[in-house]
Every structure is written in structure tokens, then in C-alpha cells.
Amino acid sequence: MKAAVIQGPGNIRVEHVPDPRIHEPHDAVVAVTHAAICGSDLWAYQGTAPRKPGQRMGHEFIGVVEEIGREVTTVRPGDRVIAPFVWSDGTCAFCAEGLHTSCERGGFWGVPGTDGGQGEAVRVPFADGTLIKVPAGADDTLDRALLTLCDVMGTGHHAAVAAGVRHGDTVVVVGDGAVGLCGVLAARRLGAERVVLLGRHPQRTALARCFGATETVPERGEEAIARLRDLIPGRGAPAVIEAVGTWESLHTAISVARPGAAVGFVGAPHGVGGKVDVRQLFDKNVSLRGGVAPVRAYIPQLLPDVLDGRLDPSAVFDLSIRLADTPIGYAAMQERHAIKALIRV
Amino acid sequence: MKAAVIQGPGNIRVEHVPDPRIHEPHDAVVAVTHAAICGSDLWAYQGTAPRKPGQRMGHEFIGVVEEIGREVTTVRPGDRVIAPFVWSDGTCAFCAEGLHTSCERGGFWGVPGTDGGQGEAVRVPFADGTLIKVPAGADDTLDRALLTLCDVMGTGHHAAVAAGVRHGDTVVVVGDGAVGLCGVLAARRLGAERVVLLGRHPQRTALARCFGATETVPERGEEAIARLRDLIPGRGAPAVIEAVGTWESLHTAISVARPGAAVGFVGAPHGVGGKVDVRQLFDKNVSLRGGVAPVRAYIPQLLPDVLDGRLDPSAVFDLSIRLADTPIGYAAMQERHAIKALIRV
């Protein structure tokens, strides 16, 4: 089959790789119909996250089950399925608590020896604990929205949950990437009345408004903090979503949080040491919560809303390409010509 | 009257200062009967926290109301009262939410222009919002225990609440100072089954065991982390109390937290930049919660337990001195000859 691999920084290729097969009785093989490129894939592309030459790429995919191991009971060949960005056994203590990202036997797509999502097919370990079946009869036009459940929509939701968004809240979202945009949707879905998005890319902030942001702020750093202090009375926002992961964005998020508030952080820490000044947290009793999102736990909650059209994050994909053109998708995202690329397989 | 002042690092004196008087109609004047020296007072003593020469010291005191302003309604002359370490108006949005430490008109005892707790009397702003009356008839032998409610016991409780301690939990407490020791009491009070205290001072760890710690670990840093990994199966503790405030102690607390756990941090950040690596928090979905404890909110919850003897933190005071000997108390705590000094006024 064909799949995207990385041969070095800036060097994504679509190559012939071995067809996936059932290795373990709990495996399934999924024929990928749609995959996505994530902002975090760009760190490998930029060379800031190490990868071995030839390593597979991609951790977001939906598809159709092709084959199952003899122990698999919840999906069968022909089922449309959604794959979270981490596989999980579904049975350990962490899975039972809904923290599938800490599964005792879980792992990330594309680590050496496994398939990545950007390819024609994927061997899925622990298919019962990992895959979520799309109900038969769901409209094909929902594929783009369903694909966001693999990562960005679940991650935005995790941020909103971690930030403790409540009905009527004012929420600040730091970051206008796909996750920040999904954070806007998630905050509104949880009842936020006012959502202020920090972002400076006109196309993205326009989409944020479509998603329910009531205001957008283009400033950064101390200027953004000052602007938000003017915009939000009462010493800050009771819930803040951090969807970037740099020191500056975390600092901004903590600075605009109201005393007693929570910052839901889902921007994977990268650059500038990934450190945060805890003095502000301490003085204001601001909580820092979140992390790598256990989207497997959230998909069953979010899927019904996607299926009936109440939740539609599909517009985060502003570029659609064929698998063979995956390198073009990376380049477009790297150059910020695209928010997020969808790959039709 | 006489009160403790700081004239420079290592230089505490008990001097004549003006008698406090009612300035505002919401003020009360409290005659101090018992005060305490806090671990954080030592930062001023050591010169790491700046103070103006002549600035008053102390933020923990109980006493008897001497005089009240015309608007004060909840306490009257002759009442025994407990003062939290921050005064608060009791009416702002933050006080209403139980976050009195962020009160719009609140403040810390001993800031220039105000009285400190280590003195014969204190002018208390917003007496109704600040003071808590001890029920008439409470035994005098409870004074030592009541004094802990001003700060350390409420702070230990805040840490346990922030850490999300639940019935049956295993809790790690980092730090064997008075707050860590009170954290042990608080964790047990909230139902923790197993409490492991990190500390290396034999007298303190012995007291920790009296307070309900089931194990104590003398190692520090990476050695302590390795030891705790052996002691606690299942990838760490579901609740961790951080009661020191250094980079190392925070790192230890986060490292021994189970994925999905919360670290309740109440050690005021000091030294080594007060920064924390968020990568571990992110990967494990560990929450960092807590901060300066709103003890005013907790005193009404803890006081009944102290009054009926179910909660007795009084043993954190292992040195009792007269006001005139306050400098001796500082020296004893600085040299670690005492855990915490009580001042009889």
C-alpha cells in the first residue's frame, strides 16, 4: 500500500510500504478513507520533533474496517469507524476512568513499527478499545466533521472541560489554530456566553466568529493581556483555553485568568523550555489543567451532536488533497496557507 | 503597645509602636492573646522577601475584641476571635465565592501602615468579613489548636481540597513543615487511607505519624521519586500535596502524581525562579491547583472539628515563648530547632 513517510525535515514522501495485517487477535485493519495533517505533525516536518527516516506520519483518520482479529467484537468488516489519535486497550484502570491517553498498553500512531494515519490502511491494536463505530446510515457529507473527532475537536473539548467552562461564562481562547477554533465550538457548546479568541490571522478569526467567538483580539503578549483587561471586567476570565503551547501563550492564558479560574491547556508544550511561572498561579489560585486529550472518552459524547448537525467543526479543513499530494498539504500548513489539510485516500 | 518589627535581615525586635485605634466604621481592635511565627516570616528574616525597616511582622493571631467601629455587627467587645492571615471585606464577588484571598479590598497583615499579628493588638479592617468568633465557653486549652486555623491548618486543608483527596485515596505530602504536617491531618480528615510524607527531620516525621501519616520517606529529589514509585503501585498517587514551594519540591510532587491526578500546591513559590516544567503535567494530564489559601472560607468548616477535639493540629507548635522573646522564636525556627513557635502575648 501507499503511505506518507518522513525522510527528514521538510521531506515528506508518499511511498510503498508493507500492507498491514492482523498480528494480534485484538487487531483490526482499517482502510483509511480520510486522514488529516495536524499542527503537531509540523514539528516533525520542521525538525523540532525527532523522527527516524522512513517513519510513518499522521494520527488522525477515519475509514472502513477491512479485517478483524478473532477477539474483536465491537466492529466488523464494512463498519465505518473513527480512530482516536492514541490507541488504547479499553480495559485498564486508566481507560476505565476515561484517561485513555495514559492506557497501560496504549500508543501513538506512527511510532516505529506501527502504521500512521496518512496512508491507505492501518493496523489498529485493541480495536475494541480504540475504534468507535459510526452508526450505519450516517451521511457521507459528515466525513469531514467526523474526522475532527480523531483529535482537534476532542482536544478543544478537553480544553473547555479542563477550563471548567460553565453556562453563561466568559471564555478566552488563546490560539487560532484548528484546536483553538474547536475550543471556541466546545466552549459555546458548554454554554459560554462570551468567547474571546486571541488570534491574528484574518481567515482564522473569521472562522472563529462563525464558530461562535463573540470577539477576536489580534494583539499578542503584554498588549493582548492589556486589551483583555479592558474587554473583560472583574479581573479576568473565569475560564481560559490555551491552545498553542509556547511559554508566551501560557503566560498570556494565566495572566488573563480571573482569580480562582482554571486554564485548560492542550497546546503541547514546545519551545522556550516549556516552563511556566507558577507565582501567578499561586497568587490568584488559578488552576492549570488539561494535557494530551483523551479523545476516546469524548467521541461518544460528541458524536451524536455531529451526527445531528448541532456540532460542525468541518470548516477547520480549508484544504483538501489526495494522498499522493500529502507533501503539498504539509507545505501549505507550514506556510500558513492552510489551517488544516484533509487527505482523501 | 509592643509589637515585633523587622529592622533588617536577622534583626527582629519587639518595640513600642502606636496603639491601634478604630479608623473606619468597619474596623475592630483585637487584643492579641496568641500569635505565631510562620515559615514564610523567615523569608523576611533571611532577607529573601523585602521588608522596610520597622515593618511589622506576623499574620497569625487570635485574641479578644477590644473595640468595634459603628458598622460592625458580628463581633463585640469581649468576644474571642480568630483572624485569617488575610483580611477581607466579606462582601465582594470573590469573598462570596469563598476566595477571600482575592478580596477586592483585602490585604495582608503587616504591610506598611497596618499592624502585624505579632504584637499586643491589631486594628482589623472589615471586622465582619474577616474575624470569626469562637463560641463562648470554648475551652482555653484549645487556643493552640485554634491558632493553627489562622494559616497552617487552613492552608493544609486547601492543599488537600485542591489535590482532590477522596475517601480511600493514597496521598503523597511533599514537605514536613507545619503546613505539610497539617496537610497530613487534612488528607486523613477527608478520608485518605494512606498518606506518605516526604521529610527528613526525625522530630517532624514522628509528628507526621501522630497526625496519621502511614509512611515517611526521607529521600529527596530523584531518589525520593524512585522510592515512591516502589511504594505506590499504579503509576503514582491520585492526590499530591506540595507544601514547600521550591522548583525541586514541585518537580517531585508532579513526578509522583498518577496520570489524571491533581497536585495541590500551597508552598509559596520561592527560589530557583519558581518555574515548573509543564511537559510532565501535559503528558500525564496532571492538574496543578491551589495557591494562597482562602482560610477565611475554611475556618467555619474546620472550627467545629477543632472544638470537639476531632481535629487537633496543636502539636505543630513545639516552642512557646513570650512576645518579648519573639526574636528567639525566629532564630529557633531559622536554625530548625523548632517547627513552629507560638507567642503568648
Please write the tens of the pLDDT for every residue from B10-41.
Answer: 999 999 999 999 999 999 999 999 999 999 99
Using the predicted structure, report yes or no on whether residue A275 has a pLDDT greater than 70: no
Q: Which residues of B touch A (CB under 8 A)?
A: 93-94, 97, 99, 101-102, 162, 234-235, 250, 259-260, 265, 268-269, 273-279, 281-292, 294
| pLDDT grade for A273, boundaries at 50, 70 and 90 | low
Q: How far is CA A314 from CA A22, A310, B245, in A?
A: 32, 12, 44
What are the sequence ranges of the domains in chain B? 2-151+294-344, 154-290
Instruction: State mean pLDDT over A9-25.
Output: 98
Using the predicted structure, report yes or no on whether residue A17 has a pLDDT greater than 80: yes
Residues 6 or more apart in contact with residue A309 via CB below 8 angstroms:
none
Instruction: State mean pLDDT over B92-111.
Output: 97
Residue B225 pLDDT = 97
**Nearest-angstrom CA–CA distance, B124 and B59:** 12
Contact B292 A276 (CB under 8 A): no
The number of beta carbons lying within 10 Å of the beta carbon of residue B325 is: 17
Cβ neighbours of A243 in B, within 8 Å? none
Give which of B207, B315, B278, B60 is closest to A254, Cα–Cα: B278
Least confident of A238-242, A304-308, B264-268: B264-268
Q: Which residues, in sequence order, are bridge partners of residue A36?
A: A342
Give which of B291, B93, B296 is closest to A284, Cα–Cα: B291
CATH number given to A2-151+294-344: 3.90.180.10
**Nearest-angstrom CA–CA distance, B106 and B162:** 22
The CA dihedral of B36, B40, B41, B45, to the nearest 10 degrees, is 150
Q: Which residues, in sequence order, are bridge partners of residue A32?
A: A63
Closest chain B residue to A282, measured at CA: B291
Contact B260 A94 (CB under 8 A): yes
Residue A274 pLDDT = 53
Class in CATH terms, A155-290: alpha beta
Contact B339, B320 (CB under 8 A): no
Instruction: State mean pLDDT over B277-295.
Output: 94
Using the predicted structure, report yes or no on whether residue B49 has a pLDDT greater than 80: yes
> Would A2-151+294-344 and A155-290 be classified into the same CATH topology?
no
Residue A269 pLDDT = 80
Burial code (b: 16+ CB inside 10 Å, e: under 16) for A116-155 equals bbbbbbbbbbbbbbbbbebeeeeeeebbbbbbbbbbbbbb
Least confident of A68-77, A164-173, B267-276: B267-276
Cβ neighbours of A281 in B, within 8 Å? 288, 291
In eight-state DSSP terms, residue B338 is -
Closest chain A residue to B273, measured at CA: A277
Residue A271 pLDDT = 62
Using the predicted structure, report yes or no on whether residue A139 has a pLDDT greater than 60: yes
Q: Which of A270, A278, A287, A292 to mutate to test the interface with B (most CBs of B within 10 A)?
A: A278
The model carries a pTM of 0.95
**Nearest-angstrom CA–CA distance, A278 and B292:** 12
A79-98: pLDDT as tens digits: 999 999 999 999 999 999 99
Instruction: State mean pLDDT over B154-179.
Output: 98
**H or E element that contains B210:** helix B202-210
**H or E element that contains B216:** strand B215-217
Instruction: State mean pLDDT over B150-160.
Output: 98
The number of beta carbons lying within 10 Å of the beta carbon of residue B331 is: 16
Closest chain B residue to A287, measured at CA: B289
Q: Is A277 or A222 the better-scoring residue by pLDDT?
A: A222
Fold of B154-290: Rossmann fold (3.40.50)
Q: Which residues, in sequence order, are bridge partners of residue A16?
A: A2
Backbone angles phi, psi at A94, to 5 degrees: -70, -40
Q: How close A299 comes to chain B (CA, Å)?
A: 18
Using the predicted structure, report yes or no on whether residue B274 has a pLDDT greater than 70: no
Return the HEC string of chain A. Answer: CEEEEEEECCEEEEEECCCCCCCCCCCEEEEEEEEECCCCHHHHHHCCCCCCCCEECCCCEEEEEEEECCCCCCCCCCCEEEECCEECCCCCHHHHCCCHHHCCCCEECCCCCCCCCCECEEEECCHHHHCEECCCCCCHHHHHHHHHCCCHHHHHHHHHHHCCCCCCCEEEEECCCHHHHHHHHHHHHCCCCEEEEECCCHHHHHHHHHCCCCEEECCCHHHHHHHHHHHCCCCCEEEEEECCCCHHHHHHHHHCEEEEEEEEECCCCCCHHHEEEHHHHHHHCCEEEECCCCHHHHHHHHHHHHHCCCCCCHHHCCEEEEHHHHHHHHHHHHCCCCCCEEEEC
Contact A55, A114 (CB under 8 A): no
Instruction: State mean pLDDT over A24-29.
Output: 98
Instruction: State mean pLDDT over A50-58.
Output: 95
Backbone angles phi, psi at A239, to 5 degrees: -150, 135
Using the predicted structure, report yes or no on whether residue B273 has a pLDDT greater than 60: no
Using the predicted structure, report yes or no on whether residue B275 has a pLDDT greater than 80: no
DSSP string covering B11-65: EEEEEE-PPP---STT-EEEEEEEEE--TTHHHHHHTSS---TTEE----EEEEE
Give which of A216, A258, A23 is closest to A122, Cα–Cα: A23
| pLDDT grade for A278, boundaries at 50, 70 and 90 | confident
**Nearest-angstrom CA–CA distance, A281 and A273:** 18
Instruction: State mean pLDDT over B245-270.
Output: 93
Q: Which of A288, A295, A296, A298 to mutate to test the interface with B (most CBs of B within 10 A)?
A: A288
Residue A86 pLDDT = 98
Helix (H, G, I), strand (E, B) or coil at B239: strand
Considering only CB atoms, A288 lies closest to which of B102, B277, B288, namely: B288
The number of beta carbons lying within 10 Å of the beta carbon of residue B53 is: 9
Instruction: State mean pLDDT over B132-154.
Output: 97
Residue A54 pLDDT = 95
A206-224: pLDDT as tens digits: 999 999 999 999 999 999 9
Contact B174, B253 (CB under 8 A): yes
**Nearest-angstrom CA–CA distance, A338 and A177:** 10
B293-344: pLDDT as tens digits: 999 999 999 999 999 999 999 999 999 999 999 999 999 999 999 999 999 9
In eight-state DSSP terms, residue B134 is P
Considering only CB atoms, B260 lies closest to which of A97, A259, A288, namely: A97
**Nearest-angstrom CA–CA distance, B342 and B328:** 11
Using the predicted structure, report yes or no on whether residue A36 has a pLDDT greater than 60: yes
With pLDDT > 70 as the criterion, what percentage of chain B qualifies?
99
- What average pLDDT does chain A have? 96
Name the one residue in this structure whose C-alpha cell is 490555551: A242
